[in-house]
Amino acid sequence: MKRGSFLLLALGALLASSASVFIAQTTVPSIAYDSVDFLKPPANLSIGEVAGVASNSKGQVLVYTRTGTVNVSVGTARTFAHGPSRLLRFDQNGKFVGEIGEGVYALTYAQSVRVDRQDNIWVVDQYSNMVVKFDPEGRVVMTFGRRPETAQSISATTAAAPAAGAGGAGRGAAAGAGAVAPQAGAAGGAPPRGGGEVPAAPAGGARGAAAAAVPARGGAARGLGSQGDSFSRPTDVAWDAAGNIFISDGFGTSSRILKMDKNGRFLKTFGGTGSEPGQLNKPASIAIDAKGDLYVADKGNKRIQVFDGEGTFKAQYTNVGTPSAICISPGAHQYLYSSNSNDPDNLDNGEIYKMELDGKIVGKFGSAGHLVKEFGMVNSLDCQSENTLFVGELTNWRVQKVTLKK
Amino acid sequence: MKRFIQICIVIMATSVVPAFAQRGAQGIKEIPYDTVPNFLKLPPNLYMGEGIGVARDSKGHVYTYTRSGATRLFEFDEKGNFVREIAPGSYGMEMAHAVRVDAQDNIWIVDEGTNMVVKFTPDGRPALILGRRPDPFDGLPTAAVFARNTNPPLPYRFDRPTDIAFDAAGNFFISDGYGNSRVAKYDKNGRFLKTTGSFGNGTGQLNTPHSIQTDAKGNVYVADRGNSRIQVYDNDLNLVKSITGIGAPWAVCITPGPHQYLYSSNSSPESNNSVQMATSGEIYKMELDGTILGKFGKGGKMLGEFSTTHAMDCRNENELIIGEITSWRVQKVILKPGAAK
């Protein structure tokens, strides 16, 4: 009996030790953190889905939100859509300061806002297919792309590419990451959905039909889009130290990165649709480190890809789920943060990873949900510092200010 | 066509049980009642539209979720004086369907134009957001054609949801709706727990679940409007019984207190056509087991008549707040059961 229990104990110890080895190899450390619901808008200002959030050098926080109602007006045998995304400025305590770009032609369906080194404010809009640069006071100083003229042409030209995210190659790349299965298969007969962020097509595939009717932009193959700044649902913008502009494009028919100089002149485009190294599938978010390397949240391929400033592929990180929003912290030792955001049909995943720039995971925090400290479809991250992040959520209509604890 | 089918269903339902219907009509006593004229007092240049949602909080304040020039959420005090508008321009507001107030005085809206359910704190801040507004530009190239969703409903997506109810634990139940035909249960933090129902008229099926309430035990009462019945479920959404003989239930409410009552409105067709309106519009008072205690009202445009009741609040057993679609009105109705002949 004694021997029997000793054997059991030994067996248990063996199991425990092998289990701990297993855990040590696969478990990412959790980072302790606090969070507050940051924005305090006045009662008559309704924040909707927070698509973009960014802080400037003064600690102010810019929010680009999908709110209000799209209005359609009737003109010469055509209909025209107006609004309703808004660009709002808050102070360092979350108090509302003012609105920027009220009524501006491009602000239709918010996607991203970023602030450059000179505190210029850049917005990226999915439906106007435009990127607009505002100076720090809020004056329009440069525009990229052109908004389609009518409501119908907005719908047609921004049609999402057929659910490329569910492709076999993309699935293969995700296998090692233990990521969720593509949504298209999970709903059992539901219409296929594109990337998690892209809203569902109506039953009957009206959007798919529209996509088929739109010729490839500029005739370019493989989702490289046009040579210059004509976009298909662009997603994000970043700059290198010289002021060169990088734009990720996008959630529509293009999957590419556009590089322009600081004066808006075309330099090159790279990427293209696919799952090979260097190719992209719904690039959702980008960031550039101090050396000028570009990090792309390659959402449809469930990986982060790293390119040098000339677009040469350098590395890919495939162990952080579905990167939907990324940021790189300032300072001498930079870190990369990436959100494995949930999709609108579930509360799975949702954790945010902290990584070294070489892809080594430092830790993670958070999970999907509605409460403070939980996240709902994170679409943007702003790394104000290594331990202070602003997290913009689509489905919780919220910005959280997250403080990581050492 | 839709209305024709609704009328057919009503005719079929009544012709199937003619004896019961006649007995019911003869045996149900009329409850005398008064109505308070001009209950809601709006400031100049602020107008109610269709009185789609009404609810009171613990202080007696009245909330209306109305289809006006835009869909808007208004608050009035217990005397009907205008207090404020809540969340103007909210991303969740497009086509009002219901407002309800929970035990903590949070204000919940159900919007069938955005497929969203939003909880606002008593001070008017969004606190829990469920469902997701579809891409606004998807609606443009194709006309909006009414279609039921024949796919299994997704846990966190609604298809023209209609109403919400809460149990004592803070779980909530959403009737969903015109597109989906189901009831879904969530915990207080908005995590999906369960769904039941599919389109049809069989056991456990639903045809436009239009209004929903819970009793103190946590049972769930669903106005299965298209099937002219109230479906009663236990707290785990197992079907317990069906209540019939009350026309097509458009709106239901359950009173608080130790002895709870169930009210259900057999509302008139929403045409605002005076001939069609005259055929229905009565509101039934029942025990929770479905025993009919009496009825009051009829369809019509005048005060004291009901122009397609769409929502009822009965925090007070004999003082009902009633929202009507077509007269753009909210009435406060005082029942006088003691005065019955």
Q: Is B204 within 8 Å of chain A by CB?
A: no
Question: Which residues between 358 and 387 in chain A have a beta carbon less than 8 angstroms from any beta carbon of chain B?
Answer: 369-371, 376
B243: nearest Cα among B272, B215, B275: B215
Using CA atoms, how far apart are residues A232 and A223, in angstroms rounded to an integer?
Answer: 10
- The helix (H) or strand (E) run that includes residue B76 is strand B71-76
Distance CA A315, CA A259 (A): 19
Q: Write out residues in chain B with pLDDT < 50, as ranges.
A: 1-24, 143, 341
Question: Considering CB atoms only, which of B94, B128, B132 is closest to A344?
Answer: B132
Interstrand relation of B249-254 and A49-55 (parallel, antiparallel or unpaired): unpaired
User: Count H helices, E strands: chain A?
Assistant: 5, 26
- Rounded to 5°, the CA angle A212-A214-A218 comes to 130
State which residue of chain A sits closest to B155, comparing Cα positions.
A345
Q: B123: which chain A residues are within 8 Å (Cβ-Cβ)?
A: 43
Q: What is the pLDDT of residue B139?
A: 61
10-residue mean pLDDT profile of chain A (406 residues): values are 48 44 65 98 96 98 92 81 90 98 91 98 95 96 92 70 36 32 33 36 34 38 81 96 97 95 96 96 98 98 98 98 98 98 95 98 98 98 98 98 95
Comparing CA positions, the residue from A223, A392, A406, A229 lying closest to residue A301 is A223
Are residues A289 and A295 in contact, defined by beta-carbon separation less than 8 angstroms?
Answer: yes
Shortest distance, CA B117 to any CA of chain A (angstroms)? 12
Tokens of A384: 């104000």
Cβ atoms of B257 and B263 within 8 Å: the answer is no
Of B123, B129, B191, which has the smallest distance from its Cβ to A397's Cβ?
A: B129
Contacts of A67 in chain B (CB under 8 A): 89-91
The two structure tokens encoding residue A140? 């329009």
Contact A190, A204 (CB under 8 A): no
Chain B nearest-CA residue for A203: B149
DSSP letter for each residue of B92-126: T-SSEEEEEE-TT--EEEEETTTTEEEEE-TTS-E
* pLDDT confidence of residue B146: 73
Interface of A with B in 28-47 (CB under 8 A): 43-47
Residue B34 one-letter amino acid: D
What was the pLDDT predicted at A201? Answer: 35
For residue A197, the model assigns a pLDDT of: 39
Closest chain B residue by Cα to residue A48? B91
